Amino acid sequence: MRALCCTAAVLDIAYVNTLKGLAMTATATDIDLSSQKTKAPSRSRFDVSVSGEEIQFATLALAILAAWIGAVAAFGFAGLITGALTMVAVMFVMLVIISRG
């Protein structure tokens, strides 16, 4: 068993020696990193500019939510059910659109 382990270690050393120059290690210093230039991102991750489409979508979503809350306030449980049943139809149409590509 010991001879097998020693033979494996010798083969590993021989294999590593054949790859010398091809292998990259944590202590390799022959790599020139100065030629690699990093491209500056076009937008900062702290950029808070918002497009007009995003504002329209947020306004529409808030209007729908406000109408649903108003229906629940006015009609109670029936207003809650009406909004949920409407969303079932909307999701059905969305699934058909997605499946058709």
Closest CA to 84 of 71, 73, 100: 71
Q: Which residues contact 72 (CB under 8 A, 6 or more apart)?
A: 79, 80, 83
Q: H or E stretch including 47?
A: none
DSSP annotation of 81 reads H
Q: Which tens digits make up the pLDDT trace of 6-31?
A: 455 544 555 555 555 555 566 656 66
% of the chain at pLDDT higher than 90: 44
Which of 27, 4, 24, 5 lies closest to 16 in space, CA to CA?
24
Q: Max Cα separation, the chain?
A: 87
